Amino acid sequence: MPKKKKINKNTKSYTKETLTGDVLGILSNHPNRTYNYKQIARQLLIRDSDTKQLISRVLRELSDKDDIEEVYTGKYKLKSKGGHVVGVVDMKANGTAIIKSEDFPDDIFVNERNLNHALNGDIVKVYCYAVGKKKFVEGEVTEILKRSRDTFVGTVQLSKNFAFLVADARVLPYDLFIPLKSLKGARDGDKVIARITEWPQKVKNPVGEVVEVLGKKGEHETEMHAILAEYGLPYTFPDDVEEAAKAIPEEITTEEIKKRRDFREVTTFTIDPADAKDFDDALSIRKIKTGNWEVGIHIADVTHYIEPKTVLDYEAYERGTSVYLVDRVVPMLPEILSNKVCSLRPDEDKLCYSAVFEMDENARVKNEWFGKTIIRSNRRFTYEQAQEVIDTGEGDMKQEILLLNDLAIILRNERFKSGAIGFEKTEVKFNLDEKGKPLGVYFKEMGPANHLIEEFMLLANKKVAEFIGKSAENGKGHEKDSGKKKGKTFVYRIHDRPKADRLETFSKFVTKFGYSIKTTSSKAISSSLNKMLTQVRGKPEQDLIETLAIRSMAKAVYSTKNIGHYGLGFDYYSHFTSPIRRYPDMMVHRLLTHYLNNGASKNANKYEPMCEHASEREQVAVDAERASIKYKQVEFMSDKLGEVFKGVISGVTEWGLYVEIIENKCEGLLHIRNLDDDFYELDEDNYRLTGKYNKKSFQLGDSIHVAIARANLEKKQLDFELMEPENND
């Protein structure tokens, strides 16, 4: 007689909370199946009726909360948190990824095995499902809709029968196999650009070919070109673009001059960095009959030379902006235009688009005029030369510079009274030898001469935006319906107020240093922030608090939907003053011309994607600039292995501490594995790592001593070791 099958009974004691987690776990592991309370009980080996009734209650409550759905009476399945969602892949160093989607409120976690060959930045379709007791949504990539890139930068590793490209793991987490016949002359250790030619579904490593050999890794030119290639930035112009630029006549015709307001007899000058060649703005000032001052802000008239829908225009649009690496400028326009034809060089007649203001001695604007002009700059000043005039009261054009400086000071003070926030991060610069090797680090800070130019550029940008933004098509000024400003389609530079949760976290943190942020209103936020930024100046925590303050802010972007510029305290703001190096300024010039000629409002649906593209290109340029600075910082420190430096903790993560060396602002990583005296846990809310047993903590802003352990130029990363203070005398 066969034995009866023994039935396992679950002896686990359930609470409502633990049962909820287990129920969700079952439904999540089988997202397409339906279950009633009896089937759930069977899965959990639950026999007693009270717990079964609790399962039924849990199912109803989860359904009420919209976590699961009742397909038909008593039968439930996991409610898809979006089903198939389209998003962008954000790869992590460990091979996993987060998918960010505009159509989905949460980030979607994707395990490496479920990426299905998707790479960083790719636009993908992902199927999402909830994961048991975890607080995040997990998914699987089902389709790659668009690759973010088709080429990759890396180093060739060559053996007798095959070669591999080793790229940045975040961009391409697998080595790219390259047949010897596809090396294009690359040798072992060369930096190259390669592309994927095939990637079979069940094969881990893609197959590719070398597109271009950049040179030997570690050489300055090779590494700068590698950074440009890594971010998809071209370092040369196509032949047809160069030819189109050369074909533009530099001569200014008499007919063109007659169409313009002539400022050639008015004292005019430029103030720019010492190494600048693309002078896209000039200032003029003179006293007029009313006794007030006429201030001219003259901007290179780039759109006079570049017509829409030409190869030059398409190239400028695609680039979006000039890119400034540590040793070079990658211009938006060919140099014959950016440095010669359009550049407001001294003692040359130049075509401009100008904003001209009648201002009284208190910097109040009494009248304004926008239009096409011709100017002749009398003098080119560097910031240092203009600063010397301000400091000494002596030098060329001292009257004009000192007058403009006085007006700029008033404008600046008024701006901060109106809610502008005073962020002024120190800029890191390098002294390079003829081969590009960094010999030293120095810091560039804003002075009164910089503020002089800044205030008048801000004034022009604000007034141009107001002129269009406040003029509705019926000519009755600006209207406010439901809090939304209405006007003609325009390209605005917008900056949203900080998110409440970020600001709250930041506010709590700075109290540890004795500072406070008032969050009752926008005005209160900005005024208390300014007070704190003034108080923190010159103190050890200055860089830390300024960095965190910036991180708590939203990013400024371009848009046709005006919400104002929170950081500047302006209701209307645009970019009008740098068309040689920013495509949005060219868009603004064209729209302004159209509206000055009484044109009807343009279609916002055409301009909004152009704004989004410009914002994306700006971010790419910023990332490339940071990469070049990071590379030079690591190179500068590479011959200082073992040396000890005092630093400040500038970042706290689950994998370790980022530390910025005080004397040169070079940043590196103190890995958590090197904190070997305890098991350290991350306290995100307080930006610190704390030892589980000894309770020793490392907090953002703490001063510590570190030794340079490794300088990895490939990863642009410095690795530190912790040193005890008593060993550093």
Query: Is the model's pLDDT at 170 over the cut of 60?
Result: yes
Provide the pLDDT for residue 543.
72
Query: Is the model's pLDDT at 728 over the cut of 70?
Result: no
Cα(213)–Cα(563) distance, rounded to whole angstroms?
46
Provide the pLDDT for residue 81.
52
Provide the pLDDT for residue 684.
81
Q: Average per-residue pLDDT in the chain? A: 88
- Delimit the domains of the chain by residue range: 16-78, 84-146, 151-217, 239-414+424-455, 484-632, 638-728
Please check whether residue 66 is in contact with residue 103, taking contact to mean a CB–CB distance below 8 angstroms. no
Instruction: Tell me the average pLDDT across 102-108.
Output: 77
Q: Would you call 602 helix, strand, or coil by DSSP?
A: coil
Tens of pLDDT along 42-77?
Answer: 888 888 888 888 888 888 888 887 778 787 778 888
Please check whether residue 90 is in contact with residue 129, taking contact to mean a CB–CB distance below 8 angstroms. no
Residue 170 structure tokens: 């975040």
Query: Is the model's pLDDT at 671 over the cut of 80?
Result: yes
Instruction: Tell me the average pLDDT across 190-215.
Output: 92
Instruction: Tell me the average pLDDT across 11-32.
Output: 75
Q: Would you call 693 helix, strand, or coil by DSSP?
A: coil
Confidence of residue 367 (pLDDT cuts 50, 70, 90): very high
Query: Is the model's pLDDT at 6 over the cut of 60?
Result: no
Instruction: Give the Cβ contact number of residue 456 at 10 Å.
Output: 23
Provide the pLDDT for residue 480.
34
* Architecture category of domain 151-217 in CATH: Beta Barrel (2.40)
Tens of pLDDT along 488-547?
Answer: 999 999 998 887 777 888 888 888 788 888 877 777 888 888 888 888 887 777 777 887
Cα(250)–Cα(339) distance, rounded to whole angstroms?
12
Higher pLDDT, 350 or 105: 350
Residue type, position 58, single letter = V
Q: What does DSSP say about strands 281-287 and 293-300: parallel, antiparallel, or unpaired?
A: antiparallel
Please tell me the CATH code under which domain 638-728 is placed.
2.40.50.140
Confidence of residue 478 (pLDDT cuts 50, 70, 90): very low
DSSP per residue, 216-284: ETT-HHHHHHHHHHHTT--SS--HHHHHHHHTS--PPPHHHHHTSEE-TTS-EEEEE-TT-----EEEE
Provide the pLDDT for residue 503.
82
The pTM of the full predicted model, rounded to 2 decimals, is 0.81
> In the CATH hierarchy, which fold is given to the domain comprising 84-146?
OB fold (Dihydrolipoamide Acetyltransferase, E2P) (2.40.50)
Provide the pLDDT for residue 513.
81
Tens of pLDDT along 540-577?
Answer: 777 778 878 887 888 999 999 999 998 898 999 999 99
16-78: what CATH class?
mainly alpha
Instruction: Give the Cβ contact number of residue 379 at 10 Å.
Output: 18
Provide the pLDDT for residue 5.
42
Query: Is the model's pLDDT at 18 over the cut of 90?
Result: no
Identical fold at 16-78 and 638-728? no
